[in-house]
Amino acid sequence: MKKGLLFFLYFIIAFTWPASLLAKVYVTKEEALKFAFQEVDTIDKKVVFLSGEEQKRVELLAKAKLDTRIFTFYIGKKGENILGYAVFGSHVVRTKPEVYMVVINPDATIKNVHILAFHEPEEYLPPRRWFEQFVGRVLDDALWPKRGIRAVSGATLSVNGITQEIRKALAVFQLMLLKER
């Protein structure tokens, strides 16, 4: 009886608890870029337009189909020194999009990968630590889930999707920007 009463009280407290509002995060392009290049003086922009031929070469290198032929690279510079390249993009995970930023070092290795928005239930989003394994990686045959990249159970579509997006960004960078320099 006593326990029953306690249970009842617990219920009352729980259901009348003031539910405070959640902290909100809003990431703008400027904030993301500031985050990508922490010590730069200037950020230049380079828009890459792929011809049909270039598209084919990128797809061959990335082993993934492109759904856009325009890529905007943000180039972080300190003096004349290039610190890195950031590219933004989005892809549909199941039915809803995910927005990401890939930051590439001048030597074509990955500096880091950030998810800026995720419209699917968060269950499908790999934890932040998962993205850290891309740091320092290059575009090769190991850069695939369950090969050199760990899978996340319950997040196959986002894991496969984002890996392909990263491969595409690296391929465009290698063929269009690295060659130019």
Rounded CA gap, 170 and 176, in Å? 10
> Under rule CB under 8 A, which residues in 73-132 are in contact with another protein?
88-90, 97, 99, 116-124, 127-130
Which residues, other chains included, contact 36 with Cβ-Cβ below 8 Å and sequence gap of 6+?
74, 76, 84, 86, 101, 103, 111, 112, 114
CB neighbours (10 Å) of residue 76?
24
Pairing outcome for strands 70-78 and 81-92: antiparallel
Q: In terms of CB distance, is 129 or 181 closer to another protein?
A: 129
Positive/negative CA dihedral, 59, 86, 122, 163: positive
- What is the token pair recorded at 160? 């496969």
The size of the interface with another protein (CB under 8 A), counted in residues, is 62
Binds another protein by CB under 8 A, chosen from 53, 70, 179, 181: 70
Among 86, 102, 103, 157, binds another protein (CB under 8 A): 157
**By CB under 8 A, residue 179 contacts another protein:** no
Q: Please report, as ranges, the residues that interact with another protein according to CB under 8 A.
A: 1, 3-4, 6-7, 10-11, 14-15, 17-29, 47, 63-64, 68, 70, 72, 88-90, 97, 99, 116-124, 127-130, 133, 141, 144-147, 150-154, 156-157, 160, 163-164
